[in-house]
Structure 1
Amino acid sequence: MKIETRDFGTVEINESDLIHFVQPVYGFEHLSNYVLLSDKNFGDGIRWLQSAEEKDVCFIVINPSDIFTDYAPTVPLATRLAMRAGTGDNLECWVIAVIAPDFKKSTVNLKSPIFIHPEKMNGAQLILDQDYSIRTPLFNSEKGV
């Protein structure tokens, strides 16, 4: 199937690549189907979470484990059940990035991660009870990324 995207133009995807959000992205409750797109120039840790329903709805997402070694979000049982995920199933975790005009001031939202069940192709965005920031600097001025 073909979808229109904000950043990649028209792309061909397999229907099996569609991620159905059982808990929608906040502020976009009317959209439930997305696809993760990548650009080989950016590596595996950065993706575009593109709506399959509206081409202008797209989020840059980052794998937090690549940058924040102590990040350990907890997925509630109710969310796991909604995603049809067993307690032993691995869920992918992504955080939404806000890319600032001054790239070094970019942030990520660690408070509201997105989880994807790669086998069931279900997704959910959560607001964690854990104490994480919604505007965590992506770059540490002393250490870099």
Structure 2
Amino acid sequence: MLIQTASWGELEIETTQIYHFPKGVPGFEEETEFALIPLEEDMFAYLQSTKEQELAFLLADPFNYYPDYEFELPEADKDELQIESKVLVRCIVSLKDKVERSTLNLLAPIILNPDKQLGKQVILHNSAYQTKHLLWSEDNRIASLKAGE
């Protein structure tokens, strides 16, 4: 399938890369289909709308930067995403002018079911996590290096 992107122009993707977000993403509820496009070394990926070329989110695996990151996914979300075994957790990265000030949104992770190709951004209620955790703090650099070993 060919999609149009702002960053790469026309891009061919596999149907296995497409995730359906039944309720969209908060702020973009009308956009319900996104392609997960891994970047080199799988440290980052883009979640690219299949219809709106200007809409894409940079994602990272939060466990590479915050190995102790944990939360309980509510049963209602598990049911909605039809999660039985496999699940991918990714968080939105906000890039800053000074890259070392870039942040990761741990409060609202993107939950993906690769078996059913379903996705949802889940807001964690009653959580100590915030929308802006430094991506590259000194502790995170060490954890990231260890994860890449």
TM over 0.5: yes
* 1:73, distance to aligned residue in structure 2 (A): 2.3
CA contact (8 A) 1:23 1:125 kept: no
- Residue matched to 1:91: 87
**Matched residues, number:** 140
Query: How far apart, CA to CA, are the structure 2 residues paired with 1:131 and 1:144?
Result: 18
Deviation string, structure 1 residues 63-114 (Cα, Å, up to 9, x no partner): 001110110122111111111112xx12100000000010010001000000
Consecutive unaligned residues in structure 2, runs of 5 or more: 142-149
Name the Cα RMSD after superposition: 1.3
Deviation string, structure 1 residues 106-139 (Cα, Å, up to 9, x no partner): 0010000000001110001011022201110111
CA contact (8 A) 1:23 1:123 kept: no
- Residue matched to 2:10: 10
- Residue matched to 2:34: 34
- Residue matched to 1:132: 129
Query: How far apart, CA to CA, are the structure 2 residues paired with 1:131 and 1:90?
Result: 26
CA contact (8 A) 2:108 2:123 kept: yes
1:93 alignment partner AA: V
Normalising by structure 2, we get a TM-score of: 0.88
Consecutive unaligned residues in structure 1, runs of 5 or more: none
- Residue matched to 1:71: 69
Query: How far apart, CA to CA, are the structure 1 residues paired with 2:38 and 2:49?
Result: 14
Query: How far apart, CA to CA, are the structure 1 residues paired with 2:44 and 2:110?
Result: 13
Normalising by structure 1, we get a TM-score of: 0.91
Query: How far apart, CA to CA, are the structure 2 residues paired with 1:134 and 1:94?
Result: 13
Query: How far apart, CA to CA, are the structure 2 residues paired with 1:23 and 1:74?
Result: 21
2:98 alignment partner AA: D
CA contact (8 A) 1:25 1:125 kept: yes
SS at match of 1:22: coil
Query: How far apart, CA to CA, are the structure 1 residues paired with 2:89 and 2:8?
Result: 23
- Residue matched to 2:144: none
